[in-house]
Each structure stands twice: as structure tokens, then as C-alpha cells.
Structure 1
């Protein structure tokens, strides 16, 4: 079978969009000397439902479609295991891989043999991965006009440079917590937008022990 390679110009745009999305999703870790946070206000019941549904996920696999602000579209398979691990396996012809091992988000570019890593603990993506993250503290409920749709905007107002993530959940009794993560939009501080839409979600799937490992293209070995 012949694998069609993504054109170089398009791949360059994809790399740029992915880097922007990763910066939006993986902000620097706050130092231990940072000032203590004020107590969080009481969360809206829908925010609490959404957070509970996200935390109820143990493992998840889904097909994803990713679109950047220029309309560039990629697809692949997302694998998630809480706490802390996620993998974006892109379609054949795209030599990129994104993996979180629980502490950092890594983008591996096998074509140019480059590896980039960003901390993840204090990022908006922690809403999906970190069971100890107080998502409700930074969450805002967006009106949807539909009782079976929750739109949740997560951003740290003290650090606008971190960007934001807006998650859409749909009511689904068979999903953990009764709500299913349908999509999210990452927006960085430069207003560069990346949208991820999920389909064919499968929960509680058994995952291979090495699925969140990756081969280092720099010849250093397997991580």
C-alpha cells in the first residue's frame, strides 16, 4: 500500500498550528512561590456536572478531526487515560505524534527529527487529564440555549498568555457521568484557533502498556 505524504507547505502550516495549540494547552508550571489563590466561588451546577463527567473517564479512544484557523484539516485517533496521559495518532502521511506521559506534552516530528515538550500540569488540558485540578475555579459556562449541551470555557484570568480551551459536552446517559466530550477549541494568546471534534467515542477500553511511549527520532531511544 502506498502512503500519500502531506505536501511540505501544508505540513509546515500544520506544524505551526500544532505548536500554537500546544502552547495554548500547555502553559508553564506556576512556581511554588506564587501567591495563594483566593477561594473559588460556588460553581454552577452544570459546571459541576461537566467536571464530574470529565473526571469519570478512565480510558477513552475516539476518532478525531482537527481543524486550524486556515481550514487545514487532519484526522486520526485520540487515546486518553486518566490521570495524565493522552496520545494523538495522526493519519498516514503526517509524520507527527503528540503524546502526554502525565507530566509533559510532547510533539514528535519524525520528518525533521525534532522533539518539543511543554509542561502540562497547570494547563487548560489538565481539565481532561489531572484529577486534582480545580477546573471549576477557571471555568465559565457559555449559554447554549439547549439543556442537553454544555459549553465550558476554561482560562486563567491571571495568565492570558496561557490561552484558553472551550469544551463542548453533550448529554449521553451511556457516557461516564452522563455527559460526553464532543469537541474542544484551543485558542492561544495570538488568537490562533485549533478545533478538535471527536466521534465514535469508546470508554473503558483496555490499552496496551506502551501506547503512551514513543520512539525518539534523534536516535536517543524509546521514551
Structure 2
């Protein structure tokens, strides 16, 4: 196998996929109070984050580029909250999936399975249902008024890395912003860029999309 494939690093993806839901108990015979209307996003960063959260499902093609300029392609499948699948091009024996709680990388060539809690990876800012992305997002000025760039980094956990999201205004996308690309920089200063194309929103996703075949030898008792 070539050096590019053997040295591939965990890619990072985009999407604040989950919102918290609270419920209250209404006393018997009491008339329920009308639910308050949600506040409209007040800033460009808020609007971009709201657009990410508006995505229910998405499928897209991607190009992954590492710090040395080496490229791999594939298909990404996303379903909120927190589920994602990176299916690489034929010939690359790697698969990366998140089942909503943990991120798993499967290397079929060496029959190795590695798992990380979502919150401990650069993808945590987008996939962890408990992460409040808005607290750590910083708007980065761009030369194009239709392009929004956000740097997301938890100052309390620099070891989680930095995620830079690029959103492009598109009335046809959820919330009016299309997820275009993102760049991750991990604690070892390893840079990985993901660029999307052919984004399809609201597509049906098979239930087994976030499962994988375990390549490790099964121990029989």
C-alpha cells in the first residue's frame, strides 16, 4: 500500500447537529401557555450555526487534502444528531463512522478498529450533541460577502484542536447557508481540509449507514 494511504489521518467534519430539547409539565386543568417564538439569530455567526443545525440529513462528495497536498476522495453521509460516515474511494481500505456517541476508524488492511469519544476529536465541535458551538465560534472576515468563515476552538481544551468552517449563502440550503468546506488543525499541528460538492439535503439514509463490519478476528470460546 502506498504511503499516502498508510499515513492518512482522521478527517474532520462539520455540523452542529443536535439541539437540546426541554419539556415542562402543565398542571391539570391549567391552560397551556403559548410557546415563545424562537429568537431569530442575531449575528452572521449565529445564522451560520443555525443553518448547520437545520440540516437533518445530507449526502455529498468530498475531497480530503492533507498538509502535504495529498488528496483522497469519497462520499460523506450525515444524519443528525451526530452521525456521519466517510466512505473513501475504491482502493482505500479505511472507513470512518460516528454512531452519535463515538467516532470509529476502521483500517481493513491491518484489521484495526480505533474509537474516540466525539468530544475528544476535532469533529467534536460539530458532532457532539452536548457541545454549544456558539460559545467557541469566532467569525473570520472574508473578502466575499456571500462566504462565512468560523473558527471553532474550545479554549479549555486546546488538545481537541481547531475547526474552521466555511459556509456559503445558498437559498436552497437549510437556513440559507450551504456547508462548503472545513479545515481541522489537531494538537499535533496536523492540517486536514475537506471540501464538499454535490450536496444533497433531506435525503433518505438507510439505517445501517453508520455501522461497519468488524475486521478483527473473532475469538471463539
Map 1:1-223 → 2, pairs under 5 A = 7-14=1-8, 17-18=9-10, 21=11, 45-121=43-119, 123-220=121-218
Contact in 1 for aligned 2:85/2:96 (Cα 8 Å): yes
Report SS of the residue matched to 1:146.
coil
For the residues of structure 1 that align with 2:195 and 2:143, how far apart are their CA atoms? Answer: 20
Deviation at 1:176? Answer: 0.2
TM-score between both structures, scaled by the size of structure 2: 0.81
Change in 2 beyond 3 A, CA 1:123/1:47: farther
Structure 1 unpaired stretches of 5+: 1-6, 26-42
TM-score between both structures, scaled by the size of structure 1: 0.81
Deviating runs (4+, > 6 A) in structure 1?
Answer: none
Contact in 2 for aligned 1:55/1:128 (Cα 8 Å): no
Deviation at 1:159? Answer: 1.6
Matched positions, count: 193
For the residues of structure 1 that align with 2:183 and 2:105, how far apart are their CA atoms? Answer: 18
CA RMSD after TM alignment:
2.1
Structure 2 unpaired stretches of 5+: 15-40
Report SS of the residue matched to 1:157.
coil
Compare CA radii of gyration and give the structure with the larger one. 2
Deviation at 1:190? Answer: 1.9
Deviations 1:60-117 (A, max 9, x none): 0000000000111000000000001000000000000000000000000000000000
Report SS of the residue matched to 1:215.
coil
